[in-house]
Amino acid sequence: MTVPIIRRLAALRAKQSDWTRAGEKVGVVPTMGALHAGHLSLVEAAKAACDRVVVTIFVNPKQFNNPEDLANYPRTEHEDAIKLAPYGVDAIYVPDPDQIYPDGFASNVAVAGVADQMEGACRPGHFDGVATVVAKLFLQTGAHQAFFGEKDYQQLLVVRRMARDLDIPIEVVGCPTVREASGLAMSSRNLRLSAAGVKQAGMMHPILTSLAAELAAGGSFAPLGKQAEADILAAGFDEVEYLSLCSAVDLRALETAGGPDHPARLFVAAWLEGVRLIDNVAV
Amino acid sequence: MTVPIIRRLAALRAKQSDWTRAGEKVGVVPTMGALHAGHLSLVEAAKAACDRVVVTIFVNPKQFNNPEDLANYPRTEHEDAIKLAPYGVDAIYVPDPDQIYPDGFASNVAVAGVADQMEGACRPGHFDGVATVVAKLFLQTGAHQAFFGEKDYQQLLVVRRMARDLDIPIEVVGCPTVREASGLAMSSRNLRLSAAGVKQAGMMHPILTSLAAELAAGGSFAPLGKQAEADILAAGFDEVEYLSLCSAVDLRALETAGGPDHPARLFVAAWLEGVRLIDNVAV
């Protein structure tokens, strides 16, 4: 079964309006395409929870702080549609660029607090771009639920905060990170690694989970984090951009894991073969 | 007939959901209270165009750059409710502050371009506050049309741009400025003028309309505007903060009125008795 591809907002709104009139619950899975098993797990979660599911594919220039990263970002619309076919989604929304940023577009949605550190600090403007485009996609699709992966955990918190703050009537659902057998978090950027790079990148997750276990046992982050950074570099990574222990609720930096009432999370960004990879695990 | 006052978002959403299910068209008139004939003309326009009308009253701290102005802003909820009673509006939404800015609120909506000059330049953060709270009120009420006065013409353009850019499915309707017999634009801030001040303030509009006529006849703004500024000061104003000739479409500064294809507008902000008054007229 081929899924209809919609490129114009008016056509999307027409569908959405039929669904809403019928009292159907609509779910949206916002993506930038280059779909992998992680995205498909979000589609499965949406299908299980909603009557109608829209997958959006839009490589959003506003959230790329690095023009080279934008240029290199994989665009695989045909393959994406084939991958989605078995899931019975109701529409793939691949908006023409003027449906998102028409002439004269001048607005920006910014989220303070959870967007300030880590990805927000390393990629200036990134979360403004994310919050702005996701607000638009939420309002364009009129969805009742949106599904995001915990692989981009900070993004999940930013998007959830934005939707609550602007009173967009949508529930933001976080779904577990999907990993390769090695533990490597699925990411469209993995496509840019060599076979050797994929193998080296697979070392990241065991290092993180072992660090998380030591922290959960009461260890202090300063020395343990330093050792883990050394381990990541020894595994073949070129640079660790950050390795942070943060509150899972508000992303404040922590020195020790805070116990069950104050869940903590480990976050990492590191470079390998010119590719920037991120991951995070619960402590 | 007393109009129900709603203070909690959940109660507002319940009403809105009933109305939407019944296929009714909802209009919203966002105000900061201290209602005068200008606001009531917006209510009339909303009543004429919509099945259901919600008037919101919220003195939004985020759009006051001056704490003294915020402290002095008149709060007259009881009188406002009495004034609205004859109009048959369906609800007055006077949100408790935590319904607009709950703990942890961290988002900001900014509009570039039309928000940069005049009020945007003189009142830093003002239009961010306006765009953010109005986005929330649009989404909280779920209204199909919103009614704003041309007295705050720049605000009208900022709000319209914001709603289009974020794809909020609402039409922003501009309504003509309502004036005292003298020509003084109705404003809640007029309440802070003495009787003599009100009389002096009434000189502003004739000066503006006469300047507009000279510009429409082909005059150049630089000398004519300088003379009009002198006239405003001679009428008793203490300071002219700006007097600008701008495109009515994108607020770009103009040196001459642009003809019918490029409508122009005159904008003024001036101080009298410690009160900041603004006005604008078509050229």
Structure tokens at A103: 């002439």
Exposed e or buried b per residue across A137-176, where buried means at least 16 C-beta atoms within 10 angstroms of its C-beta? bbbbbbbbbbbbbbbbbbbbbbbbbbbbbbbbbbebbbbe
Residue A69 is predicted with a pLDDT of 86
Tens of pLDDT, residues B185-197: 999 899 899 999 9
Q: How far apart are CA B177 and CA B184, in angstroms?
A: 10
| Per-residue pLDDT at B265 exceeds 80 | yes
Contacts of A168 in chain B (CB under 8 A): 139
Residue B1 is predicted with a pLDDT of 62
Exposed e or buried b per residue across B106-122, where buried means at least 16 C-beta atoms within 10 angstroms of its C-beta? bbbbbbebbbebbbbee
The torsion region of residue A183 among left (phi > 0), alpha (psi -120 to 50) and beta comes to left
Q: Does the CB of A111 have a partner CB in chain B at under 8 Å?
A: yes
Contacts of A102 in chain B (CB under 8 A): 164
Q: Does the CB of B32 have a partner CB in chain A at under 8 Å?
A: no
* Beta strands B26-31 and B5-6, pairing class: unpaired
Q: Which of residues 143-182 of A touch B (CB under 8 A)?
A: 161-162, 164-169
Residue B69 is predicted with a pLDDT of 86
Q: Is B39 annotated in the active site?
A: yes
Domain ranges of chain A: 5-175, 188-282
The answer to whether domain A5-175 has CATH 3.40.50.620 is yes
Q: How far apart are CA B8 and CA A57, in angstroms?
A: 37
- Which of B161, B168, B169 is the closest to A106 by Cβ? B161
DSSP state of B74: -
Instruction: Spot the catalytic one: B39, B126, B144, B205.
Output: B39
Please state the length of chain A. Answer: 283
Tens of pLDDT, residues B211-258: 999 999 999 999 999 999 999 999 999 999 999 999 999 999 999 997
Residue A89 main-chain phi, psi, to 5 deg: -75, 160
What is the Cα A40 distance to its own chain's centre? 13
Enter the pTM of the model: 0.94
Is the C-alpha dihedral spanning A120, A121, A126, A128 positive or negative?
A: positive
Tens of pLDDT, residues B45-89: 999 999 999 999 999 999 998 888 888 888 899 999 999 999 999
Q: Does the CB of B198 have a partner CB in chain A at under 8 Å?
A: no
Structure tokens at A187: 């990411």
Hey, how many other C-beta atoms are within 10 angstroms of the C-beta on A100? 21
Which positions of chain A have pLDDT values less than 50?
A: none
- The CATH H-level superfamily of B188-282 is Pantoate-beta-alanine ligase, C-terminal domain (3.30.1300.10)
